[in-house]
Copies of this chain bind each other. A is one copy, B any other.
Amino acid sequence: MNPYIEILRPTNALMAFIAVLLMAIIGHTYNYEIILGSLCVFIATGSGNTINDYYDYEIDRINAPNRPIPSGKIELKRALYYSLILFLVSIILGFIISLENGIVVILCTILMIIYAYDLKQRCFIGNLCVAILTGLTFVFGGLITKDVNLGFILGFFAFLMTLSREIIKDIEDIEGDKKEDAHTLPIIYGTKKAVMLAVILNIITCILSPLLYYYNIFSIVYLIIIIIADIIFVYSAYLAVQNQSKESMHKISKYMKIGMLIAFVSFAMGAL
């Protein structure tokens, strides 16, 4: 893959793209602003990933020597300029769509830069930052489809699910992170407390999920599909309490990803 594409982590950036498309499907909005918006979040996420690689240069030399910067395919300074230019492009795209969308992109840019520079090393705050960014993608989409309230509500659910999953991923990576002297939640407060928090977040998500039907936001179809996602989340929580091994956490993280995808499908189907 071209290193300038690879450094964007396109699969990851595509998730943000899909979040905006999901809002378009839910809002039955298919216009050029959706295309601009999807492009905008793709570029913004990509530039966030790039500046992350820029700051991780030292660590990646040992842990991920094949990444574009440590492998020498992209010069360090050049990666920084590349990401700053992409940030600027995404901000401009945001303001072309609307003042509000531009503001969201600026906020996300600030968060992504301080995340890459500092926050990701901070216990829990790094997780919180990733979850907020995920939630803001839905708000961004809602601003385009003129249903920012809905974007906000779905963003909140995405926030809860992402936060829980990020904690699970930290538990999975605990051995490697300890060697790097990282300060993740399970390292500082222990695996047990971290699992407890992830499980509580999972349960809160499940308990709140019927509200989207109750408040007449989605149809009964939503309720039927979301129950499947809820069962997966409760089962993941059960597994997490039972077994905190790396393999178990890896499996749970995968289950939760599937649960999130099903939740997104339920949003789309419930809006038809």
Residues of A within 8 A of B (CB): 99-100, 103, 106-107, 114, 118-119, 122, 124-125, 128, 143, 148-149, 152-153, 156, 211, 215, 217
Contacts and interface: CB of A to CB of B under 8 A. Distances in A.
B152 A215 contact: no
Contact of A124 (B114, B156, B215): B114
Stoichiometry, copies per complex: 2
B100 A153 contact: yes
Given A100-B152, A119-B125, A125-B125, 7 more contacts: A99-B211, A99-B215, A100-B149, A103-B152, A114-B124, A122-B125, A143-B149
Contact of A156 (B103, B128, B143): B103
Contacts of A153: 99-100, 103
Nearest to A204: B106
Contacts of A156: 103, 106-107
A153 B95 CA distance: 13
A122 B125 CA distance: 11
Which are the 6 A-B pairs with shortest beta-carbon distances?
Answer: A103-B156, A99-B215, A148-B148, A100-B149, A100-B152, A99-B211
